[in-house]
Amino acid sequence: MRTAYTADQIRAAEHALMARLPEGTLMMRAAAGLAAVCATALGRVYGSRVVLLVGSGDNGGDALYAGALLARRGARVEAVLAGSRTHERGLRAYLLAGGRVAGGAAATAVERADLVVDGLVGIGATGALRAPYDELALAANAAPALTVAVDVPSGVDASSGRVAGAAVAAQITVTMGAAKTGLLVDPGAARAGTVELVDIGLGPHLPGPDVVALTGADVAELLPRPGKESDKYRRGVVGVAAGSDLYTGAAVLAVGGALRAGAGMVRYAGQHAPVTQVRTHWPEAVVTELSRPGVEEVGRVQAWVLGPGLGTGEWARELAASVLASDVPVLVDADALTLVSRDPSLLRRAAPVLVTPHAGELSRLTGAARDEIEAARLEHARAAAAELGVTVLLKGSTTLVAAAGRPVRVNATGTSWLATGGTGDVLAGVAGALLAQGLDCYDAASCAAHLHGLAGRIAAEGAPLAAGDVAAAVPEAVRRVRDGR
């Protein structure tokens, strides 16, 4: 499991550790790790051109000490001193090692560099970068050089991933002691590149994490396994209430996701047109054509998937109310999210609820503007989970799973090829199958997001995919997770 922490958590851990160590020890450890990553990225250190963007804080000190180590190995290192002050000891060590201070043409130095080290601001910075930091960030982004950020890319909020203005887009981020939340959550995560962790000894002093990302091994441990006594009922019966005359495919995809994710039985309930399509595509499913919008005649299920392609008319509203009146976990997706946003009382139930919105759907549920949600995904996912009393799987460039009182989980799998119609229906089916197999909403959502993202990678392999390809790749994703691949 990968863990990440807020700036306040990191600072508290640093203070506790620094009280037990000689002054400057942590900075030396950080600089040595930073220099090692830079040397590996350069390949050939001797004769290479390195430019340090040095701010006023400790990140600037880390960059200067690392620059001194690179200069001693023969790199031609120039420092752009951008802050109102400079870390004195770091600058002294840097100059003694043969490092040089860039003159007025900072942009020219950046353009000619083989590697740029971003040490402008650290984890305590919030809000938009000010001049000249913003100009240097843009210059680094425009330069052909590889950019390595110290701790977090300048302009990225370490505690949330917010990006309020210009920000460095690093190819590598060398983070000290522990990962920061903003490196795992977009839009900040998209600026971080590859994250390299330097161990400076914070571990024993860190509290519980702010966010976590499950690894394949974590997911393998959580996934249900059929035993010798298993039968189709013990393996989980999931009900799917999805699809309509207009959107028959949503029903097919949701049922397919549930079947591929290992449900012992899938019961599908819907109107004539989607019923016909589900019967044709999935003879394994037990299909009920509803004569009225209620699920009492469907039979016992252990979890429901509600909403993909359902529509938002009166029939759909009555069907949603019937499903949500049951006493089993319900996954609420797509059109059902619109229905419950119109009538929030539908979510007031004793049994668990998992909602799976994208930013626009979460906007309808909570009233927050979509662009505000996109800018602060972590904050809004947490707030929605607390406000609505549900588990939230917020879909998007970073998929987040939030539940009250628990660290937000960040999904680390996926591909941009998943941004195509119908893939969310498959995800709903996968998560519903895991709910029916006994996982709680938090674990079912986290495992489903991981498997869905991995299935997307398998299906795409660098090329376009369709939602049905993702469903077909789910069993291979499960195999890879179980085999540790």
Binding residues for AMP: 395-399, 424
Task: Answer whether 225's CB lies under 8 Å from 203's CB.
Answer: no
Q: Are 243 and 270 in contact (CB under 8 A)?
A: yes
| Contact call for residues 351 and 328 (beta carbons, < 8 A) | yes
Asked whether the beta carbons of 433 and 459 are under 8 A apart, the reply is no
CA–CA separation, 415 vs 449, rounded Å? 12
User: Interior CA angle at 229 toward 227 and 230, to 5°?
Assistant: 65
CB-CB contact of 242 with 270 (8 Å):
yes
Count the Cβ atoms, other than its own, within 10 Å of residue 461: 10
Closest CA to 336 of 352, 350, 322, 326: 322
CA angle 30, 33, 39 (to 5 degrees): 135
CB atoms within 10 A of CB 396: 18
CA end-to-end span of the chain, whole Å? 15
Burial classification of residue 421, based on how many CB atoms lie within 10 Å of its CB (0-12 exposed, 13-18 middle, 19 or more buried):
exposed
Binding region: 58-62, 118, 122-128, 133, 151, 154, 250, 309, 358, 395-399, 424-425
> Nearest Cα to 250, choosing from 227, 234, 271, 230?
271
163 is written with which tokens? 């990006």
Distance, in Å, from the CA atom of 419 to the CA atom of 426, rounded to the nearest integer, reads: 12
Question: Dihedral of CA 324/434/402/407: which sign?
Answer: positive
The 10 Å Cβ neighbour count of residue 375 is: 18
Tokens of 253: 């995809």
Contact partners, residue 88, CB within 8 Å, separation at least 6: none
Q: Which helix (H) or strand (E) holds 226?
A: none
Specify binding-site residues for (6S)-NADPHX: 58-62, 122-128, 133, 151, 250, 309, 358, 425
- Which helix (H) or strand (E) segment holds residue 101: the answer is strand 100-101
Write the single-letter amino acid at 441: C
Residues 6 or more apart whose CB falls under 8 angstroms from that of 447 comprise 214, 219, 222, 223, 434, 439
Burial 192-216 (b: 16+ CB within 10 A, else e): bbebbbbebebeebbeebbbbbbeb
Binding-site positions for K(+): 59, 118, 154
